[in-house]
Homo-oligomer: A and B are copies of this chain.
Amino acid sequence: MRASALKDDVSFLLARANALSLSAGHAALAPFNLRVRSYSILALVADDIRPSQRDIAEHLRLDPSQVVSLIDDLQTRGLVKRDPDPTDRRTNVVVMTDEGRELFRSAHDAVRAAERDLHSHLSPDQRERLSELLLLVAFPD
């Protein structure tokens, strides 16, 4: 069964690997009341890049309209806030609050632990190479 036409199909392997990773991620994030997508936004904002909602949408491959409600939720919970961009009154810049930073730190640890667990059968070298190759595929530019 493993040796089906799909087994050398990179798209299929990608889909299955991602499904496993998503499950593990959601399980790890549940205690923090975060989903993978809200966690990703926190991660993006955590670096003090001050991204606009548009930046977030593009980097996370989300529609701008989805970002609205995700940020709404995070803002309601006091984890991020919207700052007006002084140079363009149309755009909001998303920044992290102290509570957000703290929650993200714990969530980040949990995610890393889950990931380490999920890939425990890979050698450090294999993990490294996987990461490099995936970066190429995820950001082909």
Chain A residues packing against B (C-beta within 8 Å):
1-2, 4-22, 24-25, 36, 40, 43-44, 46-47, 49, 51, 55, 59-61, 108, 111, 115, 118-119, 121-122, 126-127, 129-131, 133-140
B134 touches A14 (CB 8 A): yes
B131 touches A13 (CB 8 A): yes
Query: How far does the alpha carbon of A7 sit from the alpha carbon of B59 in the complex, in Å?
Result: 11
Q: From residue A126, how far is it (CB to closest CB) to chain B in Å?
A: 6
User: Of B17, B61, B129, which is within 8 A of A138 by CB?
Assistant: B17
With both beta carbons as reference points, the residue of chain B lying nearest to A5 in the complex is identified as B43
User: Of B18, B25, B46, B137, which is within 8 A of A130 by CB?
Assistant: B137
